[in-house]
């Protein structure tokens, strides 16, 4: 493997000194880029794009040709695992992911198994190809959904406004949901370890739907499984720590316990104040976030001002670690020039905080 030329992202995750605040954006390889839309059209569908390592590599690298991001993230989807379990994933244009065979009955749940990782080889191949093509420019992030979050899709069959189906199961048959989550946990641990073996230099767990749980259910149905995944991960590769980032959207109220789950860094959405987050948890973990993605529609002056506001909220870095990001994936409608301004402002303005 080529030597890593820019390790600012990895060092910030480990709360080591860095000259500026590194940044990357969730969904940075995506529809807001015309070259992505072109490649996707060529591939024919989202799934074909994700399942072909060369296409996946191509779209992973596209944003890095335009913007001075400090990390690349594997182009893939959190639903590859349930797809490999036989749930039949499809992406309906304009409606998002949909499973042909959601888990609705005890029988459905009893048939569920940890998939053979061979069926996910296209993901690990993509990691290898991307690492080779990145040639050490920036680190590559691998990722997976949290056991709870993929479980939501597996039971609902698609996104949901209220998560009624999985919550109905959770309140009436918690044993079935725990069985799903246990299987998801084992699958996710293996899956991320295979990504690490293939060359992922950091991994992120997206608990996108942890925040829909009631306060008295979050630990039992989301956090404990995320913790188990992290406990099972290889934390070193190529002689270097592989940092783990956990992001529970809507989890700001549970920050204290999320910070104890074993992750090196915690992602935050834009409803959390970074200064208060540091007051609450100290510098036990690095923080990643947390600009409202809609700021990117406000014009250059607003982008720069709000970027500075996030950096100011984090404050002098000291023994902490901050990775700049949005508080959620970038919108497909984002003008690319707003991203240009954001990268410039974050890199420039943050230097004073790293004195």
Q: Contact positions toward its own copies, by CB under 8 A?
A: 162-164, 167-168, 170-172, 211, 213-218, 250, 252-253, 270-273, 292-295, 297-299, 302, 306, 309, 313, 327, 331, 333
Query: 3-class SS at 245?
Result: strand
Query: 3-class SS at 189?
Result: helix
Least distance (Å) from its own copies to the CB of residue 270? 4
Q: Which is nearer to its own copies, 4 or 26 (CB)?
A: 26
In this structure, the chain runs to a length of: 355
Q: Does 31 qualify as catalytic in the annotation?
A: yes
Closest by CA position to 353, among listed 12, 70, 14: 12
Q: Which is nearer to its own copies, 6 or 273 (CB)?
A: 273
Query: CA 207, CA 225: separation in Å to the nearest integer?
Result: 11
DSSP string, 107-159: HHHHH--PPPGGGGHHHHHHHHHHHHHHTTSS-EEEEEE-HHHHHHHHHHSB-
Which of the residues 36, 153, 191, 225 is marked catalytic? 153
Q: Which is nearer to its own copies, 100 or 275 (CB)?
A: 275
Which of the residues 15, 36, 70, 77 is marked catalytic? 77
Query: What is the biggest distance separating any 2 CA atoms in the chain, rounded to whole angstroms?
Result: 59
Least distance (Å) from its own copies to the CB of residue 313? 8
Vertex 196: Cα angle to 195 and 199 (nearest 5): 90
Angstrom CA distances, 118 to 81, 85, 183, 276, stand at: 11, 12, 17, 44
65-93 b/e (C-beta count within 10 Å ≥ 16 → b): eebebbbbbbbbbbbbbbbbbebebebee
Least distance (Å) from its own copies to the CB of residue 57? 29
DSSP string, 6-60: --HHHHHHTT---SS--B--TT-SSTTSHHHHHHHHHHSSHHHHHH-HHHHHHHH
Least distance (Å) from its own copies to the CB of residue 129? 32
Q: Which is nearer to its own copies, 48 or 280 (CB)?
A: 280
Query: CA 278, CA 62: separation in Å to the nearest integer?
Result: 34
Least distance (Å) from its own copies to the CB of residue 172? 5
Q: Which is nearer to its own copies, 232 or 298 (CB)?
A: 298
Which of the residues 40, 98, 228, 304 is marked catalytic? 40
Tokens 């080889």: give the residue.
Answer: 121
CB distance 354 to 50 below 8 Å: no
Query: CA 117, CA 130: separation in Å to the nearest integer?
Result: 19
Which of the residues 7, 11, 15, 27 is marked catalytic? 27
Least distance (Å) from its own copies to the CB of residue 310? 9
Least distance (Å) from its own copies to the CB of residue 292? 4
Backbone phi, psi, residue 93, to 5°: -55, 130
Q: Which is nearer to its own copies, 105 or 309 (CB)?
A: 309
Q: Which is nearer to its own copies, 119 or 331 (CB)?
A: 331
> What positions carry a catalytic annotation?
27, 31, 40, 77, 153
């Amino acid at each position: 493997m080529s030597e890593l030329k820019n390790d600012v992202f990895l060092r910030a995750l480990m709360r080591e000194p860095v000259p500026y605040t590194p940044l990357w954006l969730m969904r940075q390889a995506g529809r807001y880029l015309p070259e992505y839309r072109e490649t996707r059209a060529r591939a024919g569908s989202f799934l074909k794009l994700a399942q072909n390592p060369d296409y996946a590599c191509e779209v992973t690298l596209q944003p890095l040709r335009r913007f001075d991001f400090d990390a690349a993230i594997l182009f893939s989807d959190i639903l590859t695992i349930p797809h490999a379990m036989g749930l039949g994933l499809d992406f309906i244009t304009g409606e998002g992911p949909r499973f042909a065979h959601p888990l609705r009955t005890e029988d459905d749940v009893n048939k569920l198994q940890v998939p053979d990782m061979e069926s996910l080889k296209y993901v690990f191949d993509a990691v290898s190809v991307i690492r080779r093509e990145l040639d050490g420019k920036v680190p590559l992030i691998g990722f997976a959904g949290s056991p709870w979050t993929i479980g939501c899709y597996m039971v609902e069959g698609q996104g949901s406004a209220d998560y009624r189906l999985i919550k109905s199961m959770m309140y009436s048959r918690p044993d079935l949901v725990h069985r799903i989550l246990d299987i998801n946990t084992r699958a996710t641990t293996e899956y991320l370890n295979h990504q690490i073996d293939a060359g992922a230099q950091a991994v992120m767990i997206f608990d996108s739907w942890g925040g829909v749980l009631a306060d008295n259910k979050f630990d039992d149905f989301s956090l404990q499984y995320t913790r188990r995944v992290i406990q099972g991960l290889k934390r070193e590769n190529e002689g270097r720590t592989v940092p783990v980032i956990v992001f529970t959207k809507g989890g700001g109220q549970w920050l204290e316990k999320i910070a104890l789950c074993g992750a090196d860094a915690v992602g935050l959405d834009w409803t959390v104040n970074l200064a208060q987050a540091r007051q609450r948890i100290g510098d036990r973990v690095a923080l990643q976030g947390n600009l409202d993605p809609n700021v990117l529609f406000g014009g250059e002056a607003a982008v720069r001002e709000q970027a500075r506001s996030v950096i100011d909220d984090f404050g002098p870095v000291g023994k902490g670690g901050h990775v700049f990001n949005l508080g959620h994936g970038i919108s497909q409608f984002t003008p690319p020039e707003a991203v240009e301004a954001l990268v410039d402002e974050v890199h420039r303005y943050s230097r004073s905080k790293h004195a």
